[in-house]
């Protein structure tokens, strides 16, 4: 028998033995290639019928609804091994994702709040927005600002750093019926990790410098925020990668010389409607759009009842204000505004009227993420 040969420090079988090995391996390789042609990766035939998978899904949902979440996750893992079709696979993955997400935020509830210091500003001022995150759970939770190691880069989101963005949506008016708007995103730098102990809070302050308004007499600025952390880390290695939406708020912005009209309330509005400020018809518009939430219903009713009989300039200012306060335009017909008030508007709640006027105050309760980002209280 011929001895094995040496080659580059390795001992190889002699030529006859190599040939024998090839003869044995060729059929096996050919069978594998044929099997791959028959069932490519990702297209393997399900091990059970679609009906059986549907029955399993129903059982998984029942386990989830009864609080037996770990059993539901175990059933999902077992079903994934039976090669479900792609639509069924996505359904199983979605249920598993929701169970893990809800369980994490039940154990680590978070409260998000967005606040400004007052509801009225003037053009050229700086608005300070406060974004507050409170940990309502019993354990520390942290949000890394950026990667600390190559392992973080593998485990966390495929971004270089946590991202906090303000969403600024403005709607301007000239007081005579013209309106225009803009929307922009403002990136906020987060230099450090956010680490929040049990019951603690972290506040991020963001200044917004207002322009001079140009030809604008009035602006409603809606402010929202979204936080996309690299990861949300619990004390014991638990982690999530969800974005968080802060509740929106809004502020009203006026020209500096007209802020006193905005604070005039119903008394100034009644004076303007009675014709005592004919030299400054814009005072009617500003006093109307500056009304507080508690005064909205009475102010809209005053405008709707008075507008049809006003002179053309004040009628135009009144209709411009009604369009902003009601969210309707009715082809700028004051009679239709009065009809809407009688049939629908006067039955709306204070909160509904405020929403229609675009006056979105951040809920003082904020938004609680407990049981998943889909649940806010």
Range of the domain at 177: 110-254+362-369
Give the 3-state secondary structure of residue 237: coil
Strand order in the sheet with 126-135: 201-209, 126-135, 110-115, 367-369
For residues 220 and 314, membership in a common domain is answered with no
CA dist., res. 142 & res. 61, Å (int): 31
Location of structure tokens 């037996």: 68
Torsion of CA 140, 145, 148, 151, to 10 degrees: 80
Task: Answer whether 0.85 is exceeded by the pTM.
Answer: no
Domain boundary at 60, 79, 107, which? 107
pLDDT for the residue numbered 240: 87
Burial code of 297-311, b = ≥16 C-beta within 10 A, e = fewer?
bebbebbbebbeebe
- 374 located within any domain: no
- 348 located within any domain: no
What's the mean pLDDT in 83-91?
90
For residues 130 and 173, membership in a common domain is answered with yes
For residues 148 and 262, membership in a common domain is answered with no
pLDDT in tens, 42-53: 456 777 888 899
What's the mean pLDDT in 276-296?
89
- 150 located within any domain: yes
Average pLDDT, the chain: 84
For residues 204 and 150, membership in a common domain is answered with yes
* Residue 265 confidence class, pLDDT cut points 50, 70, 90: very high
Q: For the residues of 246-285, what is the DSSP string, one character each?
A: EEEEEEEEE-GGGHHHHT-HHHHHHHHHTTTTTT-THHHH
pLDDT for the residue numbered 361: 59
* Residue 2 confidence class, pLDDT cut points 50, 70, 90: very low
- 377 located within any domain: no
* Residue 125 confidence class, pLDDT cut points 50, 70, 90: very high
Q: Mean pLDDT lowest for which of 13-17, 63-67, 92-96, 368-372?
A: 13-17
Share of the chain above pLDDT 90, in %: 60
CA dist., res. 374 & res. 364, Å (int): 19
Q: Where are the alpha helices (DSSP H) in the chain?
A: 15-38, 50-65, 69-80, 86-107, 150-155, 259-262, 265-273, 282-289, 296-306, 312-326, 334-343, 350-356
- 352 located within any domain: no
For residues 147 and 75, membership in a common domain is answered with no
For residues 202 and 289, membership in a common domain is answered with no
pLDDT in tens, 213-239: 988 999 999 999 999 998 899 988 888
For residues 217 and 114, membership in a common domain is answered with yes
CATH of the domain at 223: 2.60.40.10
* Residue 149 confidence class, pLDDT cut points 50, 70, 90: low
pLDDT for the residue numbered 59: 94
Domain boundary at 74, 107, 140, which? 107
CB 228 within 8 A of CB 204: no
CA dist., res. 126 & res. 115, Å (int): 14
For the record, the structure tokens of 311 come out as 């002179």
Whether pLDDT at 131 is above 50 = yes
* Residue 309 confidence class, pLDDT cut points 50, 70, 90: very high
210 by Cβ neighbours in 10 Å (0-12 / 13-18 / 19+) ranks as: middle
- 239 located within any domain: yes
Overall number of domains in the chain: 3
For residues 141 and 169, membership in a common domain is answered with yes
For residues 283 and 312, membership in a common domain is answered with yes
- 83 located within any domain: yes
Going from the C-alpha of 360 to that of each of 69, 133, 181, 247, the distances in angstroms are 37, 20, 17, 9
Indicate the DSSP class of residue 362: P
pLDDT for the residue numbered 21: 45
For residues 327 and 312, membership in a common domain is answered with yes
Whether pLDDT at 28 is above 70 = no
For residues 162 and 36, membership in a common domain is answered with no
Whether pLDDT at 359 is above 80 = no
pLDDT for the residue numbered 358: 80
For residues 90 and 135, membership in a common domain is answered with no
- 215 located within any domain: yes
pLDDT for the residue numbered 280: 86
* Residue 151 confidence class, pLDDT cut points 50, 70, 90: low
Domain boundary at 85, 107, 129, which? 107
Whether pLDDT at 13 is above 50 = no
pLDDT for the residue numbered 15: 45
pLDDT for the residue numbered 238: 85
pLDDT for the residue numbered 165: 95
CA dist., res. 278 & res. 284, Å (int): 9
């Amino acid at each position: 028998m011929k001895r094995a040969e040496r080659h580059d420090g390795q001992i190889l079988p002699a030529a006859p033995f190599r040939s024998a090995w090839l003869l044995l391996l060729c059929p096996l390789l050919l069978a594998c290639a044929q099997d791959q042609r028959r069932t490519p990766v990702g297209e393997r035939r399900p091990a059970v019928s679609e009906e059986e998978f549907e029955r399993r899904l129903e059982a998984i949902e029942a386990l989830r609804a009864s609080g037996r979440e770990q059993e539901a996750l175990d059933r999902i893992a077992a079903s994934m091994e039976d090669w479900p079709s792609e639509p069924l696979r996505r359904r199983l993955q979605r249920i598993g994702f929701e169970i893990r997400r809800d369980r994490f935020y039940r154990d680590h509830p978070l409260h998000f709040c967005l606040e400004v210091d007052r509801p009225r500003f003037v053009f050229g001022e700086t608005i300070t927005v406060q974004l507050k995150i409170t940990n309502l759970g019993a354990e520390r939770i942290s949000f890394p600002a950026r990667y600390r190691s190559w392992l973080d880069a593998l485990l966390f989101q495929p971004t270089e750093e946590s991202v906090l963005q303000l969403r600024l949506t403005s709607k301007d008016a000239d007081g005579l019926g013209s309106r225009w708007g803009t929307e922009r995103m403002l990136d906020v730098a987060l230099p450090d990790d956010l680490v929040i102990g049990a019951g603690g809070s972290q506040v991020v302050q963001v200044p917004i410098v207002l322009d001079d308004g140009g030809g604008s007499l009035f602006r409603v600025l809606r402010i929202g925020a979204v936080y996309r952390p690299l990861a949300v880390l619990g004390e014991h290695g638990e982690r999530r990668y969800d974005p968080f939406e802060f509740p929106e708020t809004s502020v009203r912005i006026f020209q500096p010389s007209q802020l006193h009209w905005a604070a005039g309330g119903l008394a100034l509005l009644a004076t303007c409607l009675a014709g005592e400020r004919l030299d400054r018809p814009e005072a009617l518009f500003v006093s109307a759009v500056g009304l507080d939430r508690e005064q909205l219903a009475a102010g809209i009713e005053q405008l709707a009842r008075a507008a049809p009989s006003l002179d053309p300039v004040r009628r135009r200012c009144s209709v411009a204000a009604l369009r902003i306060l009601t969210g309707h335009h009715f082809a700028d017909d004051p009679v239709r505004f009065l009809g809407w008030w009688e049939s629908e508007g006067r039955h709306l709640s204070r909160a509904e009227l405020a929403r229609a006027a675009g006056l979105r105050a951040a809920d003082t309760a904020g938004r609680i993420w407990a049981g998943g980002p889909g649940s806010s209280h």
